[in-house]
Structure 1
Amino acid sequence: MTEGPDDTAFEDCQFLTGSPQRFAVLAQLREGPARPTDLCDSVDATRTTIQRILAGFSERQWVVKRDGEYQLTVTGQRVFDQYGALVDEIERARAAGPLAANLGSIAGDLPADLLDPACLTTSSEQNPLAAVNRFTDWLHEVDGDVRAISPIVTSVFNDVAAELLETGTHIEFIIDHSVLERSASDFSEALERSVEHENIDTYVHESPLDIGLALDRSRVCLAAYDDRNNIRALAESDAEAVYQWTETVFDRYKARSQPLAAVLSVQESNR
């Protein structure tokens, strides 16, 4: 069983996080020594509140008073830096929540770059199609050949694939058996194109897919789906380490898949 902080450390954490003004005072002192009156001018707090905060910091030896000014100690600077890093990570976690909560089996080794809020597009009640629209735009911006994985089939994605094939783009595409069944019943023309077109190689994964993924010559796009197969979030990157990780993921899924023509042949022989 993992032990948490001792009572004193926990109380110190509670003190620091008890109000935004406390971290704001630390931030001001990180810039340089200051008097309580100076802190009142820069922090939204009364003089009494500032004095109480400084007393709490002094008790913990995060600050010292010299010549009427308060300044951070070495430990106070470290507390500020570590707390700032924690706040940054919590902000990243909030932004990446819709992605992280819907990634399934690949979440464990996900590159940290894909959790950067700047890389993310998330759907919301106000804009439920934000992620799928961005995914569609990403596909329209493809440069070079494409490798992709999808747990769903839609007319929008089929139309984009048809456009790419017409431009000579080569596509490697991994689907699962549910996508194959839906394609056979609702998108027979697209399924036929997947079998016959010389620029597309389609594979059927042995088990249901739980992610969407695409990569072209230099970019990566990772889509996370909810239980109803709606895209909840999208992460994009052109970082080399992310690209290499995505190639490894794609190859792993491909190794567990069979060519579409072979799967259809088995289905036909079983009828």
Structure 2
Amino acid sequence: MGYDWGTQLFASSHRLALLRELRSNPADTKTLTDTLSISRVTVQRHLNHCSNHGWVQKVNGQYELTPVGERVCTATMTYLDRLTVLEENSDVIDSLATIDDSFDPLLLSEATVSVAKPTDPHEPIYHYRNAMADTTSETVRGILPIFSELLIEVHRDLLDAGVESELVAPRPVLEAAPIPISELPSPIFTVYMLEETLEFSVTLTDDRTFVGTYDTGTFVACIESTEPAFREWATEIYERYRRHATRVEPAGGDESDGPT
């Protein structure tokens, strides 16, 4: 039945437009004709079709969506929104699905996505650097998958500014750091070491969320969002990896025996 309803609904763009209009406000045939800029005969044909499917009903001379029609319209618009996001962000969807195979593309609806291009291969990392340089956040938590002098510089500047920082990184990244992690300012800097390599990054500031995707160690996309749902997803990813990491103790302390 669902497939049949979908076929009927997408058989005409006017049919979906009519449902969307009625979703906003009940209307009579004349109003729908004027709003949709189609003939009265066409409007009536689609109204009859939708009525036969139980999506539309006539009350006091005006047509309105039935409870089923409301849900059909909502489900259809969500489906189309998801397709739109998939089309607009096809460059990063595969990478995000690798991070979490249940990733919902709609989480990118309000995000800013910077993707490396042949004419500007450094766009993602510069976007990240500039955004972090402007942050007024008092705390930063992040996953850093590779050693990059530019990325290290960004986070060193935050530490110098007194921003409380928490970092999760693979062992090779920490071993490649120009300054031993144990010598960095421990009161505001906590480091966790992973024994696995990663192809993505996460940064959580007080008000923004960043997710980076990588291709064999190259930063190829930066996603920035202030949406709570995207932050909730990224936070869950961050905390999942932190739980499997080992805290690196500052000088004078002992490295933790296992994941925290």
* TM-score w.r.t. length of structure 1: 0.68
Query: Any conservation in 1 of the 2:115–2:221 contact (CA below 8 Å)?
Result: yes
Match of 2:255 in 1: none
- Structure 1 residues 56 and 129, CA, compared in 2 at 3 Å: closer, same or farther? farther
Match of 1:40 in 2: 33
Query: Any conservation in 2 of the 1:21–1:44 contact (CA below 8 Å)?
Result: no
Which of 40, 54, 59 pairs up with 2:52? 59
| Residues 160-218 of structure 1: CA deviation (Å, up to 9, x unaligned) | 2332233334544333255467x4xxxxxx52354533355555421111220223456
Query: Any conservation in 1 of the 2:54–2:66 contact (CA below 8 Å)?
Result: yes
- Structure 1 residues 254 and 96, CA, compared in 2 at 3 Å: closer, same or farther? farther
**Equivalent AA in structure 1 for residue 179 of structure 2:** E
Match of 2:196 in 1: 207
* TM-score w.r.t. length of structure 2: 0.70
Secondary structure of 1:81's counterpart equals: helix
Query: Any conservation in 2 of the 1:131–1:231 contact (CA below 8 Å)?
Result: yes
Shift of 1:113: 11
Match of 1:175 in 2: 169
Shift of 1:14: 0.9
Which of 44, 57, 76 pairs up with 2:69? 76
Q: Does 1:251 align with 2:242?
A: yes
**Equivalent AA in structure 1 for residue 243 of structure 2:** R
Matches of 1:127 and 1:50 in 2, distance apart?
49
- Structure 1 residues 252 and 176, CA, compared in 2 at 3 Å: closer, same or farther? same
When the two chains are superposed, the root-mean-square deviation of aligned CA atoms in Å is 3.9
Between Structure 1 and Structure 2, the one with more helix by share is: 1
Which of 120, 144, 162 pairs up with 1:150? 144
Matches of 1:91 and 1:132 in 2, distance apart?
26
- Structure 1 residues 254 and 32, CA, compared in 2 at 3 Å: closer, same or farther? same
Query: Which structure has the larger Rg?
Result: 1
Give matches, 1:1-271, under 5 Å: 6=1, 9-30=2-23, 31-35=25-29, 37-64=30-57, 70-94=63-87, 98-103=91-96, 106-108=99-101, 115-123=107-115, 125=117, 129-140=122-133, 141=135, 143-177=137-171, 179=173, 183=176, 190-192=177-179, 194=181, 196-199=183-186, 200=189, 202-216=191-205, 219-227=208-216, 229-237=218-226, 239=228, 242=232, 245=236, 248-255=239-246
Shift of 1:152: 2.3
Secondary structure of 2:157's counterpart equals: helix
Residue correspondences, number: 244
Most deviating of 131-140 and 235-244: 235-244
**Equivalent AA in structure 2 for residue 150 of structure 1:** L
Most deviating of 232-241 and 9-18: 232-241
User: Tell me, which stretches of 5 or more residues in structure 1 are unaligned?
Assistant: 1-5, 184-189, 262-271
